[in-house]
Structure 1
Amino acid sequence: MDSAELLDLLGNANRRRILRLLAHKPCYVTEISEYIGVSPKAVIDHLSKLEEAGLVESRTDDQRRKYFSIARNLRLEVQVSPYRFGTKSAYPASRGLDISTCRHLTIDVSHDEGDDLTDVTRELKRLEQLENELSMAQRWVQGRLTEVRERLSERVEDDEGDGRLYAEVISALANGARDVDAVSREVEAPPELVEESLSWLAERGVAERDGDEWRLSE
């Protein structure tokens, strides 16, 4: 399920309340019904949709009572800015990922392998602090991105009069779009207009073409 569908699914307040409850403990239908104040039938319908999306899973205990719990970690981001609107979902990386190989990453990625309560508590505290720091850094980056796109748009408008489109095309290339169709989908503009924009950028040394592929100039 893509991020836009997840956003629609989580737009329902009762589904969010169900997930909030399940984040504390596994529950069966009657418990959930009493907690959120809706009928068991409605709860079953919500759980069915959440299961179908892979957010919730179930198991049956010895008394044949069906318990529901959250199936996996998921991060869903919504970005709204003067230059971009979009959603993005991300799942946790595998434990085998060596994050130290990311050459632009400057954070301390060491971790404590201890198993006693003190060691695990210390590691939890460190990761909670790191998550807060990364959140702050992300907010800073988003603010700077908007400022830079604004400056870029103003510079292009001086020559062409449609700076926002050119700024979006440049952002699409920076995000990995490599051909006209990919850039067109990213900026939601006709391919013909995107082709003209890319050619204009190439004339000014901002972008370069290699066959059917485009990229930003070094």
Structure 2
Amino acid sequence: MDSAALLDILGNENRRRILRLLSHKPCYVTEISDYLGVSPKAVIDHLRKLEEAGLVESRTDDQRRKYFHISRNLRLEVDVSPYEFGMKSAYPASASLDVSACRYLSLEVEMDGNGDEVIVNEQGACEETTTASDDALDDENVDEIAVLAEQLNCLEELKGELSLAQRWVHGRITDVLDSLSEAVDGDDEGHLRAEILAALAAGAETISEVSEEVRAPDHVVERQLSGMADQGVVERDGDRWALSA
């Protein structure tokens, strides 16, 4: 879909809230309606537009209820500056992409226990240049213009490489969340549990902190944490939660 049309679709707050909810788990219309506080008819209209954009798909369960879920990874990038306005949408880069081969993007890559690449640090390789004073000689100004032009070209290429690296990371995050979701349970709420575990790993401790991180209601987070505590995945100390050692 055209990036501008996609941006128009995502400009609606309720459609963004639907996608945020579906990023936690697949839902049927009544669940979405209760979550948004809008009529099922309005929800169906939003879902239709999201389906037409290729962002959402549906499936029918054994009770013939239609569940909706996010269909694919998609990254939308918007650039706004005094010199540029542009949009582009792209699928994640292949997991086999050798990001360390980027010309301008310097990456320190380590291997994890499974042989997968993990980005540890990234740093742009373009160098800064000093500007000449107003009373500089003409040929020095010419030299400065040439240096600035080269730097601009370098930064444009770095920008492209950063975009490619972000797409690669986007895809890898989804792969890791899928694996984590399957490891903790693998049911429809596995993605939410995976995000909760990631929030705990990032330093969130209380239910309110985790809720803010994963953008889910406190009672939902508490229920998920209690379930994972029964499995021995997390542990509780008063009102604080942590990953089990």
After TM superposition, the score normalised by the length of structure 1 is 0.52
Moved more, 103-112 or 63-72: 103-112
After the TM superposition, which residues 81-120 of structure 1 pair with which residues of structure 2 at under 5 Å, given as runs? 81-114=81-114
**Pairs aligned (count):** 136
Q: How far apart, in 2, do the equivalents of 1:77 and 1:29 lie?
A: 29
After the TM superposition, which residues 43-58 of structure 1 pair with which residues of structure 2 at under 5 Å, given as runs? 43-58=43-58
Q: Which letter does structure 1 place at the counterpart of 2:67?
A: Y
Pair 1:66-2:87 in alignment = no
Residues 75, 90 of structure 2: 8 Å contact kept: yes
The SS at the match of 1:93 is coil
> Comparing both chains, which one has the higher relative contact order based on Cα–Cα distances under 8 Å and sequence gaps of 6 or more?
2
Q: How far apart, in 2, do the equivalents of 1:111 and 1:51 lie?
A: 38
The SS at the match of 1:106 is strand
Q: Shift of residue 7 of structure 1?
A: 0.5
Q: Which letter does structure 1 place at the counterpart of 2:98?
A: D
After the TM superposition, which residues 187-198 of structure 1 pair with which residues of structure 2 at under 5 Å, given as runs? none
Show CA shifts across 1:77-108 (max 9, x none).
Answer: 22221111111222211223232332333112
Q: Shift of residue 41 of structure 1?
A: 1.2
Q: Which letter does structure 2 place at the counterpart of 1:75?
A: R
Show CA shifts across 1:32-55 (max 9, x none).
Answer: 011011111111111111111111
Q: Shift of residue 113 of structure 1?
A: 4.5
The SS at the match of 2:89 is strand
Show the counterpart of 2:77: 77
The SS at the match of 1:38 is coil
Q: How far apart, in 2, do the equivalents of 1:111 and 1:28 lie?
A: 40
Q: Which runs of 4+ in 1 moved over 4 A?
A: none
Show CA shifts across 1:159-193 (max 9, x none).
Answer: xxxxxxxx9xx98xx78xxxxxxxxxxxxxxxxxx
After TM superposition, the score normalised by the length of structure 2 is 0.47
The SS at the match of 1:109 is strand
Q: Shift of residue 22 of structure 1?
A: 0.7
Higher share in strand: 2
Q: Shift of residue 5 of structure 1?
A: 0.9
> Percent of pairs identical after alignment?
70
Q: 5+ unaligned residues in a row in structure 2: which ranges?
A: 132-148, 158-245
RMSD over aligned CA atoms reads 3.6
Q: How far apart, in 2, do the equivalents of 1:4 and 1:84 lie?
A: 15
Residues 61, 67 of structure 2: 8 Å contact kept: yes
The SS at the match of 2:4 is helix
Q: How far apart, in 1, do the equivalents of 2:113 and 2:96 lie?
A: 14
Q: Shift of residue 56 of structure 1?
A: 1.0
